[in-house]
Amino acid sequence: MLSKNELKYIQSLCQKKQRTAERLFLAEGVKLAAELLDAGYPVKKIYAVEEWEAPVTSVPVTRIPLFELEKISSLQTPNQVLLIAEQQEPAGEPVLKNNFTLVLDGIQDPGNLGTIIRIADWFGINQVIASKDTAELYNPKVIQATMGSFLRVKTWYRDLETILAQKQVPVYGALLNGKSMYSIESVKEGILVIGNESKGIRETVLPLINQAITIPRMGKAESLNAAVATGILLSQLKSPQHNLT
């Protein structure tokens, strides 16, 4: 059984202020727990129901009944196990040369951010640069939506104008009035900027884009979800079938 203080402390980690102060975050579910433990990620504590089959680990495991897991979980349907883990800052700075980088300009929805990181992982992109007003990486909804991809994709929060002004590589921007993505060959080195869900790419960033690109619209929908648009664009920009070399 959890003490009242322990219960209150775990619940407090659902709040950004407390996560930031403690440099901790919550991760939930059998698959995510397995990924973190297999990767040797710094996990501080594990809370799990009796049915959870714990891997060999030195991390302390506290067995609790389902009703207590429900109290500390941020999920509608808790999945056997919850971990308290340490936040990790990416080592060094992002390397733009000879890399493909996703830049996120004000993505607000945690589910979108987590899904975009998962999409980046799918296409072999290992670095994301987010504006400082983008959703927090360690929000429980972001962590869940990444499905473990945050372990493989480094995410930095930086001033985008400073990063993009360096002009080290071509900068592509997802815009409605851009060039058709089908006219762009596979990109080995460059940046793709994805804008805010409702406002798009901010005015101060637009002049730093070399090539505006768009997904040709065939129907009447006004826009696409940011994560969906990212996946569609990357399927073209990162497709080996269109590689000139």
Q: What is the pLDDT of residue 125?
A: 97
Sign of the torsion angle spanned by Cα atoms 130, 131, 136, 141? negative
Q: What is the pLDDT of residue 134?
A: 98
pLDDT digits (tens, 9 = 90+) for 109-166: 999 999 999 999 999 999 999 999 999 999 999 999 999 999 999 999 999 999 999 8
Q: What is the pLDDT of residue 167?
A: 77
Q: Which domains does the chain have, with CATH numbers?
A: 4-86 (3.30.1330.30), 100-242 (3.40.1280.10)
Q: Is the pLDDT of residue 244 over 70?
A: no
Could you count the other beta carbons within 10 Å of the beta carbon of residue 124? 11
- Quick check: 207 and 166 in contact, CB under 8 A? no
The CA distance from 128 to 142, in Å, is: 14
pLDDT digits (tens, 9 = 90+) for 187-217: 889 999 999 998 999 999 999 999 999 999 9
pLDDT category, 243, cuts 50, 70, 90? very low
Model confidence, pTM: 0.93
The CA distance from 41 to 146, in Å, is: 15
Q: Is the pLDDT of residue 239 over 80?
A: no
Give the mean pLDDT of the chain: 93
For residue 171, the cross-strand partners are 191
What are the structure tokens assigned to 227, written together? 């994560």
Q: What is the pLDDT of residue 94?
A: 93
Q: What is the pLDDT of residue 241?
A: 58
What are the structure tokens assigned to 152, written together? 């493989």
The conformational region for residue 177 under phi > 0 = left, psi -120 to 50 = alpha, else beta, is: alpha
pLDDT digits (tens, 9 = 90+) for 48-101: 999 999 888 899 999 999 999 999 998 889 899 999 999 999 988 999 999 999
- Quick check: 103 and 162 in contact, CB under 8 A? no
Q: What b-and-e string marks burial along 67-84, b requiring 16 or more CB atoms within 10 Å of the CB?
A: ebbeebbbeeebbbbbbb
Q: Is the pLDDT of residue 245 over 90?
A: no
Looking at per-residue pLDDT, the higher value among 223 and 28 belongs to 28
Residue ranges of the alpha helices (H) in the chain?
A: 4-12, 16-22, 30-38, 66-72, 110-122, 140-146, 160-164, 226-237
